[in-house]
Every structure is written in C-alpha cells, then in structure tokens.
Amino acid sequence: MRTISVITAAHAPSAHYLAETARSVAAQQLPPGWACEWLVQEDGEAPALADRVGGARYACNGARLGIAATRNLALARATGELVQNLDHDDVLLPHALATLITRFEEHPVHWAVMSADDLLPDGTRRPFPPDLPHGPVPPGAVNRWAEERGGNWPLHGGGLAARAETLRALGGWTGVPVDDELGALVALSELTPGWHDHAVTWLYRKHPAQTTNSSLYPGLEHTGRRIALQRAKALRSTGLRVSVERPATGSHEVALGPNIRQAPGS
C-alpha cells in the first residue's frame, strides 16, 4: 500500500474542534491501493489529547516547542510519500485526499495547495476567491506574486501538501514562531513546480481562539512574512533548482548508532 501522511500539530488549550478534525480524517475516501496515516503531535508541557485522537499515531513533545518544531517532529515519524498539513481546528472534506493523490499522480509536481472555504462560527461556509490561476504553477511564480503585493501570498500555507522527500530536503517547516507554513511554501514554490487546484477540499475554520487571532508572540505580526520574502529572494539569487521532476520515493527509515560526542555515562 502507498501512504499519504496527514500531519496535525495540536495544543490542548486551543484544540476545541479537534474531534471534528478527527472525524474528517476518518471519513476520507481513498483511491484503491492507498492508505492514510494521521500523525498528531501535541505541543506543551501538559499533554491532554491522547484520548481525543482515536486512530491517530499520537506523540507528545513534553515541552512547549512551538508549531514549527511540532510539525517537524511529526514529519520525522511520517511514512507516507505524500504529506498533507491539517491544523487541529480545520476540516478535510471526504474527497480531499483522493483529489490530492490524483493530482500528484497526474502531474510532475512537488507541492500542491487545494482550494478552501472559510468555516464561520455559525457553521456556514464562505468561499475564498482565488488570487492565483488554477492548474500548474511554475517555480517562482507564487513568490513573485507576493513580492509585488507587499508580502501577501496568493495561497494558504495551512493547506500545504508536498512530496515528503522534497519537504524534508528543504528543511520541513521553517523554524520560526510565526508563519512557519509560509516559509515552507516559499521554499517549495521557488524551487519546484506545484499545483493550485480549483476543487474545494478543506475548510479553514474562523474562530476567536485561532492562533492568528491570539498570537503568543506579540510584536511579530510582520516578522514571518518578512522572513518569507527574504527566503524567496535568497533562494532566487542562488539559482538553485530541484532538477528531479518526479522524485523517487525514499524510505523514511534511517539507522542511528550511539552518539559518539556524548560523554560515557551521561
């Protein structure tokens, strides 16, 4: 069986909608020959979500490390050839992963962002008009669009999907306290071709407790976008490109020996 890994970074104090997120993963209608693994990585010093994520491969940090580190710890456990991010308050529609898998099988792309509707507090949905044409996205197009518009990106990084090998090669989610998903999208979209799909496959929940409305890092509202713009320009200036159109599926397994730098008995 081929596998797609859904990665969810969770934090108990704000995981009010995690049960609905879990139901949406369980309801996925996958193509023949495919399996889904849901990796939930809980951030924070007081884990409390293990009993609320039935069917998930759950792990906890045991410390408050932030969302980027939490997502990357989940990525280290992922076995899938494809990775789909899913925030702990968002919802996948039943056809989401099947649609995503089809796009990756049909097109030589390394990343994809599917369309989303806003899910409002009263349960209604509000379409989010796309700013970028649907279909194939050449390397650099997403970031040039953002640079021309003051660091505003046309795609929502919260719904980012990618080939696992490419995401790992580019460092996973950027290790910053804000907009880590934007940094990942910048690197992938600058160096590799991607896909923007017209199909609405997920719902972006709008609610008062979401991270974007209650930042734990006041004063950093623009920092993540500044770092993302700097990363895009730096990548472009190097002339780097990922040359493999459709990367082979590598194993996530690696062999670790003893830490030779660690003092004996420590």
Is 36 within a domain?
yes
Is 255 within a domain?
no
Is 218 within a domain?
yes
Q: What percent of the chain has pLDDT over 70?
A: 92
Domain that holds residue 124: 2-238
What average pLDDT does the chain have?
Answer: 92
Give the side-chain half-sphere CA count within 13 A for 82: 25
CATH number at residue 79: 3.90.550.10
Is 6 within a domain?
yes
pLDDT in tens, 186-243: 999 999 999 999 999 999 999 876 665 545 667 787 899 999 999 999 999 999 888 7
Q: What angle do CA 98, 100, 104 make, to 5 degrees?
A: 115
Q: How many CB atoms lie within 10 A of CB 209?
A: 13
pLDDT in tens, 52-107: 999 999 999 999 999 999 999 999 999 999 999 999 999 999 999 999 999 999 99
User: What is residue 124's predicted lDDT score, i.e. its pLDDT?
Assistant: 96
Stretch 7-32: mean pLDDT: 96
184 compared with 244, residue with greater pLDDT: 184
Is 260 within a domain?
no
User: What is residue 219's predicted lDDT score, i.e. its pLDDT?
Assistant: 74
CA dist 104 → 93, 204, 248 (Å): 18, 22, 13
Stretch 139-148: mean pLDDT: 96
Is 225 within a domain?
yes
Q: Domain tally for the chain?
A: 1
Least confident of 106-110, 255-259, 261-265: 261-265
Stretch 169-189: mean pLDDT: 95
User: What is residue 249's predicted lDDT score, i.e. its pLDDT?
Assistant: 65
User: What is residue 225's predicted lDDT score, i.e. its pLDDT?
Assistant: 92
Total-model pTM: 0.93
Is 264 within a domain?
no
* φ/ψ (deg, to 5) at 121: -55, -30
